[in-house]
Structure 1
Amino acid sequence: MTGPEAHASPFASERRRRPLLRRLFYREDAFDVLGPAELTALFEAFACVVRLHPVILYWVHRLGAREYLVSSFRHRSMVKYSELEVVHVTPDEIGYYRLPGARIGGGGRVEPGLYSLAIQAPGGRRHDLRIRKCDHGQLHLDEVCERPERDAASFQSLPRHTLDRSKFAAEMATIVERALEWDYQRALLGEPDPFTEAEWGEVTRKCAGLSPRADAFLAEIRRRDRSRRVHP
């Protein structure tokens, strides 16, 4: 595994602040408006860690090779939407869907139970999903299913709302950091490294420079894994 300093960071584009009036009008938290190159790099880092950490990142579900459904949120800017909405992530667009009972701005209430829902993805793709809300509030994707014609009425179509990719960037970065934190904890405990050198090379290349926290995890993982190989 090579160090973060060995690669030019793709997360270095100039950032602009979201206009104040828009933040006030839409009750948005302040967030940086990222450039196309940085948004692309963030998606690649996100996709990489989700592929390598499917159990750790259990609330991020792959719908296809480059499509993901996020059913819970960790960053403070998004946490109020947990238990109410799900987010659909693709390389070029991000959309969100309010479950029945949810209201704009993180309001309303979604009752516990199993929901058969249809979401329309970019390009006309449709996903028929069974999403469960547990009694403790967590949303889980139970099934991505083929919808039989006779069962069409049981799937409720949810309207798609476009989400600014920059607004969701902090949540995606938090997901990447959570995966790297698990890798750090694994190295700290001396557990075996589950990834190949090629996989670590990909993680380092795509995640280095994402944030000071991500870089700190990468550096410590590298140091501990190398030390263990030298001193078994």
Structure 2
Amino acid sequence: MLTAILVSLAVVFVAELGDKSQLITMTYSLRHRWWVVLSGVGIAAMLVHGLSVAIGHFLGMTLPERPIAFAAAVAFLLFAVWTWREGEDDADVRVAEPRFVVPAIVSSFVLAELGDKTMLATVALASDHHWAGVWVGATIGMVLADGVAIAAGRLMHKRLPAGFLHGLASVLFLEFGLWLLFDSALGLRWVAVAVTATVGVIAVVVGILRARAARARFRESVEPTPSDPSPSQHS
């Protein structure tokens, strides 16, 4: 069992590095407290890898990838709209209530991870190693890897303005949703590349224009206004 824990932990930790799960975790950490995000990630990891172990060790089944990908795409598009509306209402508000945020994190992670390479690796490990050890090791490996992403998100949160982080989070959710929709659900890889690249370019251009407008407003607010001429000057 100890061997299964260590092997699964190492495999899942390495597989998660640079994976979309880390990006999703970082996106959530831009908006919510780190312990709320980590709690949601931990619950999602237990559910996903518990299902992986059940599939690999007890059932030997495969999951329908496209319906799951379509559901995940819809979920991320809804998260993008939700995050954007929060930012429009008040850029300083951080929705950190666990009863609202944790279910959103858990649902998005479970949908995003179903059929992902990390889950497939866990299924393969569970077919050859102790199922409980694989479950524990894979869960710990995912939490550790996503903890790195949370640390990166917290660092960004300290150095970047809240309005920018709102916009970045909503754009990232939009990109996740569009990629899952066109690539995983519809099987149109080149369309997914074109759409997500276009959205990314538009987001960068809009961000630059808004930053310039904000700087112009700031300069106008700090520059002294010319005073009216004094009566002595009239004479």
TM-score under structure 2 length normalisation: 0.24
Q: Which has the larger radius of gyration?
A: 2
* Higher share in helix: 2
Q: Which has the higher contact order (CA 8 A, sep 6+)?
A: 2
**How high is the TM-score relative to the length of structure 1?**
0.24
